[in-house]
Amino acid sequence: MTLYNADGSIAEMSGNGIRCLVAAVRRATAASWHELQVSTVAGERTVTLEMSSETEGHGTGHMGTVAFLDAPEGSLGAADVGNPHVVVRDNDEWSESERERIAHTMQAAMPEGANVEFVTVRHPARVAIKVYERGVGWTKACGTGSVATAAVLYSLGLTGPKAVVENPGGELIVSLEGSQATLGGPVSFEGELEWTL
């Protein structure tokens, strides 16, 4: 799997993208398997998939090792999930342009840039994030960002080892066991596209 950002750069890993890729491969090949291993820039990842209909299902990806990074000043923490993330406690009084300014500051503080998650802790098993992605800007959902956020918050004692992460585009479930993480979420087919090279 090779994933290109909106600006043409390559993202090492996508927690949502890999789940969708696995569902598309299964559908395109008319396969019946429920697990697939995918090679990514960040390493091998295994995704399990259960389809409840032709177009709807649920997938769980084994996201590998979460490694904590040196955190920029003003953040709650930083983590690598195959790609780098910085987690910032959100403030309802911030405007979108203020969040973008903060995101750019956090990205500049990281050697390879980073996705930036603005988090609100609702309670120990549920959080909400807004994500400003490296190479993309604002995005409706970030799977690796959900994992990084959950790991940082768990390390600070703000959440437990399993949390629902509300993204603007929907809910994801992160489970942590030691330094290992899994990410679960929906799969939904929206349309079909064919092209020739």
Q: What is the pLDDT of residues 20-29, one digit of tens each?
A: 999 999 998 9
Q: Is the pLDDT of residue 164 over 90?
A: yes
The domain segmentation of the chain, as residue ranges, is 3-63, 64-181
Whether pTM > 0.95 for this model: the answer is no
CATH topology of domain 64-181: Diaminopimelate Epimerase; Chain A, domain 1 (3.10.310)
Average pLDDT over residues 105-115: 95
Measured torsion, CA atoms of residues 86, 91, 186, 66, in degrees rounded to the nearest 10: 20
CA atoms 12, 38, 169, 167: torsion sign = negative
**H-run or E-run covering 157:** none
The Cα 29–Cα 139 span in angstroms is 30
- Kindly report the average pLDDT of the chain as a whole number: 93
Domain 3-63: give its CATH architecture.
Answer: Roll (3.10)
Q: What is the rounded CA–CA span in Å between residue 67 and residue 90?
A: 22
Strand extents, DSSP E, 94-189: 115-123, 126-133, 137-139, 162-167, 170-177, 180-188
Instruction: State the pLDDT confidence band at 85, using cuts at 50, 70 and 90.
Output: very high
d(CA 151, CA 147): 6
